[in-house]
Amino acid sequence: MLVSELIDRFEQFAPKHLAEPKDPVGLQLGALSAPVHKVLVTLDVRPEVVDEAIEVGADLIFAHHPMMFHPAKNLDLSDPQNQMYATLLQHGITVYAAHTNLDSADGGMNDWLAEALGLQDLSGMVAGYQEPIYTVTVHVQSVYADAVRLAMVGAGAGQMTHYEGASFEWSGNTWYTPLAGADPELGPEGERNHVEEFGIQARVTESQLATVRSAINDVYPGGHPTIDVSPLAGDGHQYAMGRIGNLPAPMTVRAFAEHCKQVFNVPGLRLIAADETKSVQRIAVLGGDGGKFFKLAQRLGADAYVTGDVYYHTGHDMIAADFPVVDPGHHIESICKPKLTALFKQWATDNNWSLEVVASQLNTDPFTFI
């Protein structure tokens, strides 16, 4: 098995175009064409994690946080970061990172955090990539209409909010004059002719477009039917970082902070609240460094907000806004380790991959509570 097979499947789940601008997601080191037998899933790529990968025999490290946020200025091996790169190359280990694309993916990082908190009725928080959507119209002879329609639907066309496989059809005459090299069955060269055809139209997302085109060509005799593609403005699926949802029942700010401490298994956290007895139920959560989005969370109706790396002066602003914030740290994103491990194992089963997947057992949180 090649690294590219796993990555191609993963990028269907969390495409790189979901990432925030300038976020260095994707291949970090090595080659997608490299063989892979064992994957180590981690939050961070640190020297101790590389040692762990070597110890367990992993030839791919799959991380949430990019190994290279900034380019190396030199390859001086007295720098621990550079030495880590050299060690990875020496042992033939490929490194791949999925950062804000995993944060925004449906069923990804922020859904996992919301699930851990027990939030219900989720919606997105920080709007990101909106997938373009198109209408695809195919003109075919009536005898091929059923086959083409079913091929389009089978490839995913026609998905709507409460329906699937939706399409619109109409019939009419297509007039034409055959030129040299045209299909002789459609009339003599140079003579004006017409044929009765069906128009079949369905909605298709950008990610489905190539598959739908291929499916149409596969069932249409001779291939290359007339296909018209038109964009629909502002109508595609909206991806977002962060989630907002409801706790099953209200609780005080203090009780909610204790709940966060328990579900994320952290020895300590920072609570920013003017009144710890205040009742909260609608909660916003954004993994990582999300302090700058607290006003958005409040504007969207959240009673409290869970995020990491809150800055000192931002904390003052939260107090002034009377908006409780729980900061359990950045490391809560380590929830990705068991989640991605389970996902990769399921894909290995589904695709009959000869692949072993293990989660890193190391805690890469740089902070110790004393």
Q: pLDDT tens for residues 221-259?
A: 866 688 999 998 767 889 999 999 999 999 999 999 999
Distance CA 304, CA 296 (A): 12
Q: Which pLDDT score, from 0 to 100, does residue 223 have?
A: 64
Distance CA 47, CA 52 (A): 9
Distance CA 38, CA 342 (A): 14
Q: Which pLDDT score, from 0 to 100, does residue 225 have?
A: 80
Which residues 6+ apart lie within 8 Å of 157 measured at CB? 136, 165, 167, 202, 203, 204, 208, 212
Alpha helices per DSSP H over the chain: 3-13, 47-56, 80-90, 100-104, 109-117, 145-154, 206-219, 253-263, 294-299, 312-320, 336-351
Domains along the sequence of the chain with CATH? 3-100+334-359 (3.40.1390.30), 109-126+241-328 (3.40.1390.30), 132-232 (3.30.70.120)
Q: Which pLDDT score, from 0 to 100, does residue 69 have?
A: 86
Residues placed in the known binding site? 64-65, 103, 330, 333
Q: Which pLDDT score, from 0 to 100, does residue 338 have?
A: 98
Residues placed in the known binding site for a divalent metal cation? 64-65, 103, 330, 333
Distance CA 221, CA 146 (A): 13
Q: Which pLDDT score, from 0 to 100, does residue 181 have?
A: 85
Residue with the two structure tokens 């175009």: 17
Q: Closest by alpha carbon to 249, among 210, 295, 282, 275?
A: 282
Low-confidence ranges of the chain (pLDDT < 70): 222-224, 234
Q: Which pLDDT score, from 0 to 100, does residue 161 have?
A: 76
